[in-house]
């Protein structure tokens, strides 16, 4: 190679090197200029008085007083390419068709794909069903849909540059598995005349017959915090795996401890005179077999005044979340991802023997002493399951990726061990699950828990096939791989 050619070669290499530096700087600049946007809002969804309060067996009370207002709490995140919407409503649950209608209207108004919306109910037992009514003033279904739509649209209107962080703490003293195994060889009769080896909320009269809890609890509380660029709070979403607390006056409407927690957080962290709202959210995690009552006899079960325990649990949870909040390290931008899929599950049907028994129970005189206090209620549920028109139900499985954090959602009252299994097998560094999201299809026990029996496994309480939890876990893990 002559000198001239060698010089040209060196010049070419130098040009290529300088070009790579320039492109690298442009890439760095492009990355640095990416902006995370966030906005939050609340809508009041308190129903009118006069509707039936759901959450308990009949006879159900009629709402005569509002102890505390019910809300839907909304958060929207946008990384410049993907926009996610989360809504958590103070309701026992909402059917899929209610959420679907709200999503369709939001997508039409904002452009957010329905697949990027994760909407759930807190599971307060002091709310009403989202039913239509002949009296337009009592048509709660249309009212709650309109309020969810307004809440998300307002959250979009409130979008501004933001930063984000997440972490977790522990609050073990308020979660107890409510299903107890009976000692070997012992059983309890159920409403179908069968023998169960596990019982829910065992009375003190059978405490000596108990072997121990039938499943685990999850003491963790997860915390996702979003701040404006100037440090002003935008939203804080927590996830705790506790069914509800209760202790509400029977005919009162209340958001239970979910609403009290949000009020505590907002009171503590809100900046004075901030133009855009700061919104706290508490999304419920897999707790179909977990509540706030210790039936082991190891802790005091002293009676409390109405709402006293709600305030206690909410205060303790807020304290732990605020402790975690102080330790968070914020990021100015993270990628957002979403995946969703439909899963068809077979609907459970009663056996011929169950149908015959139900018909016999409903035909007998009302003064006949039942062998189980709920056998009439489950006789009605047995015949309803027999007459159901559909052989399968289509359910929505969903996963969000927020940086290295994954949030999954399942439209059931999910047993805690299922959520823990998803967390352990997730490809993400941190993962938590929201239950009763995008629909409500009854309880979700594992096949092994089905074998034990108990309230959560009974036909009418559980509505889908025995293997449903395994199919759901497989689907959720597949979605997590898609967004990894």
Strands 179-182 and 210-213: antiparallel
**What does the DSSP assignment read for 363-397?**
HS-TTSPPSSTTHHHHHHHHHHHHH-S-SEEEEEE
Domain ranges of the chain: 36-176+220-335+396-405+423-435, 177-211, 350-387
CA angle 94, 97, 100 (to 5 degrees): 100
Alpha-carbon torsion (444, 187, 201, 238), positive or negative: negative
Alpha helices in 111-252 (DSSP H): 140-157
Contact partners, residue 419, CB within 8 Å, separation at least 6:
218, 241, 285, 286, 432, 433, 435
Burial class of residue 299, CB neighbours in 10 A (0-12, 13-18, 19+): exposed
Determine the pLDDT at residue 32: 59
Determine the pLDDT at residue 196: 98
Whole-number Å distance between alpha carbons of 411 and 398: 9
Buried b (16+ CB within 10 A) or exposed e, 86-101: bbbbbbbbbebebbbe
Determine the pLDDT at residue 11: 43
Buried b (16+ CB within 10 A) or exposed e, 205-232: eeeeebeebbbebbebbbbbbbbbeeeb
In the predicted model, residues of the chain with pLDDT beneath 50 are: 1-30
Instruction: Tell me the residue ranges of DSSP E strands in 125-277.
Output: 127-128, 160-170, 176-177, 179-182, 188-189, 195-196, 198-200, 210-213, 220-228, 233-240, 252-253
Determine the pLDDT at residue 7: 44
pTM here?
Answer: 0.92
Whole-number Å distance between alpha carbons of 413 and 435: 6
Burial class of residue 185, CB neighbours in 10 A (0-12, 13-18, 19+): exposed
């Amino acid at each position: 190679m002559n000198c001239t050619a060698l010089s040209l070669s060196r010049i070419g290499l130098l040009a290529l090197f300088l070009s790579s530096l320039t492109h690298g700087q442009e890439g760095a600049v492009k990355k640095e200029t990416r902006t995370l946007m966030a906005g939050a809002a609340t809508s009041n969804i308190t129903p009118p008085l006069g509707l039936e309060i759901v959450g308990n067996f009949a006879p159900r009370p009629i709402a005569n007083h509002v102890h505390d207002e019910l809300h839907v709490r909304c958060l929207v995140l946008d990384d410049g390419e993907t926009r996610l919407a989360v809504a958590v409503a103070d309701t026992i649950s909402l059917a899929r068709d209610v959420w679907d209608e709200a999503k369709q209207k939001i997508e039409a108004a904002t452009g957010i794909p329905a697949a990027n919306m994760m909407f759930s109910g807190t599971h307060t037992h002091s709310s009403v069903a989202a039913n239509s009514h002949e009296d337009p003033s009592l048509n709660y279904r249309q009212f709650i849909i309109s309020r969810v739509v307004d809440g998300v649209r307002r959250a979009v209107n409130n979008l501004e540059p933001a930063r984000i962080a997440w972490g977790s703490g522990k609050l073990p003293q308020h979660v107890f598995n409510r299903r107890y195994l009976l000692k070997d060889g012992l059983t309890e009769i159920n409403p179908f005349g069968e023998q169960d080896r596990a019982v829910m909320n065992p009375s003190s009269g059978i405490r000596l017959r108990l072997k121990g809890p039938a499943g685990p609890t999850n003491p963790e509380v997860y915390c996702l915090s979003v701040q404006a660029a100037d440090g002003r709070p935008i939203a804080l979403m927590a996830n705790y795996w506790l069914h509800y607390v209760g202790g509400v006056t029977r005919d009162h409407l209340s958001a239970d401890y979910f609403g009290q927690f949000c009020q505590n957080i907002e009171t503590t962290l809100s900046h004075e005179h901030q133009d855009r709202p700061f919104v706290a959210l508490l999304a419920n995690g897999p707790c179909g077999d977990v509540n706030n009552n210790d039936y082991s006899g190891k802790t005091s079960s002293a009676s409390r005044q109405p709402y006293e325990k709600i305030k206690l649990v909410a205060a303790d949870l807020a304290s732990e979340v605020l402790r975690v909040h102080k330790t968070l390290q914020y990021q100015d931008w993270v990628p957002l991802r979403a995946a969703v899929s439909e899963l068809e599950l077979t609907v459970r049907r009663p056996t011929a023997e169950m149908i015959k028994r139900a018909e016999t129970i409903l035909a007998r005189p009302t003064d006949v002493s039942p062998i189980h206090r709920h056998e009439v209620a489950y006789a009605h549920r047995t015949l309803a399951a027999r007459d159901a028109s559909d052989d399968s139900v289509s359910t929505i499985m969903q996963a969000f990726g927020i940086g290295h954090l994954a949030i999954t959602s399942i439209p059931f009252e999910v047993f805690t061990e299922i959520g823990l299994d998803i967390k352990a097998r997730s490809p993400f560094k941190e993962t938590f699950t929201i239950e009763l999201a995008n629909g409500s299809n009854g309880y979700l026990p594992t096949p092994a828990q089905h074998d034990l029996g108990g309230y959560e496994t009974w036909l009418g309480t559980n509505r889908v096939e025995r293997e449903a939890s395994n199919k759901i876990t497989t689907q959720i893990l597949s979605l997590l791989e898609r967004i990894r």
